Amino acid sequence: MNFFKYLTLFLFFLSNTVYSDELRSSKDTLLNIINYDLKSLEKDMAILDEVHEINTMIFRSAGNDIFSNHSDSIVYIQTDIALGSGVVINDDGEIITNAHVIEDAQEIFVIFKPKSGNNVQVSAIHESSLIKKDIGRDLALIKPLYPPTNINIIDISKSMSFENDYVATTAHCIGHPDGYAWTYTGGVISAYRKNFSWPSEDGLMRTANVVQIDCSINPGNSGGALISDDGELIGINTFKDPANDDINFAVAANEVLNFIESNEFAEPETIENIRKRIEGDPIFVSGKDFNNDGLYEIESWDFDKNGIIDTYVHYEDEDDKWEKIEKDENENNVIDSVIIANKDGSISHFFDVDEDGVNDYQWIDTDQDGQFEVKQKI
């Protein structure tokens, strides 16, 4: 598109009735249009060209009220390095998306869905700024510099029980998979998983409460809305299981609310550091010397190196050999297995499966070769 075409477009936008109401009501808007230079116009037209190359931007109902009522609350996000989706959450025009959608971006633009038709105007493109992000939970909050008037928002669910309220109900997903703008897919909410961890492409391990869904999501859906049957936002579509097309995940609404209200974010640990930590030696935490002889009778250890004590080693004499090991396998502060070094050289393992304080099974390694010759219910 040459200079004269840009100039023609520029003059057209100055006179277009799209701006007529705003011009009468806002001096700032008028100044903004007058100062809209050709370089900015060229950048915005390039974004529209990219959108139009992927699809014709023809919008139609998905066969239910969820799409018709809420699709215009979903924005198309285009940065200088990526594209994705976002959800308008308040009247100030603030938008929730994934941190990885805007990560390392120098410029962030959002496109608001037109009310009707298939012609997205330059006026629908809004330069945006980052308010805050939480890399660990893969969430970001952005805001258009000049948000449009009369925007629609989606209320965020405040449910205290995802299992009871949403599992086994319909999952409604709206986003822009592979750039196909404002696409609806439906499925089922399969599960709610607390403190779920997943690896990211940038080598980080992220952790958040997530909602498992089976509706189709793909790159470009990231940051888009997972909507309940009653029209509330219950998650931000975030990632998929690479080995299973029907297992996808959204960061849960309770994490979104916490992110909005809090400014305390934990940096995620790198996958490489986690690997080194797991492969390294267990971590000694503390010891107790009851008889003040300089030797510990009980040692506390963190064997999986996650910062939680999971193993207690007991020494009953001064021969530097342990006699008993207590383990809290699921780290809930309840001992669920005990290992005893018997005087005959055998090793006995006791398991309290239901964690009621009574052992349910005994396994015995008679010759300490790592194989259990006896396995019995007590």
Say if strands 183-199 and 283-288 run parallel, antiparallel, or are unpaired.
Answer: unpaired
- Reading the block at residue 342, the tokens are 């018997």
Half-sphere exposure of 147 (CA within 13 A, CB side): 19
Q: Verify whether residue 176 is a known catalytic residue.
A: no
Q: CA 39, CA 3: separation in Å to the nearest integer?
A: 10
CA angle, 142 as apex, 197 and 190 as ends, to 5°?
Answer: 35
Number of H helices, E strands in the chain: 9, 21
Catalytic residue among 100, 172, 176, 349: 100
Q: Let me know the angle formed at the C-alpha of 187 by 103 and 78, rounded to the nearest 5 degrees.
A: 25
Residue 222 a catalytic site member: yes
CA dist., res. 113 & res. 154, Å (int): 14
Q: How far apart are CA 222 and CA 171, in angstroms?
A: 15
Nearest alpha carbon to residue 87 among 247, 265, 234: 234
Marked catalytic residue, from 134, 138, 310, 336: 138
Question: Contact, 200 vs 226, CB < 8 A?
Answer: no
Any catalytic annotation for residue 138? Answer: yes
Considering 73, 128, 200, 222, which one is annotated as catalytic?
Answer: 222
- Which residues are part of the catalytic machinery? 100, 138, 222
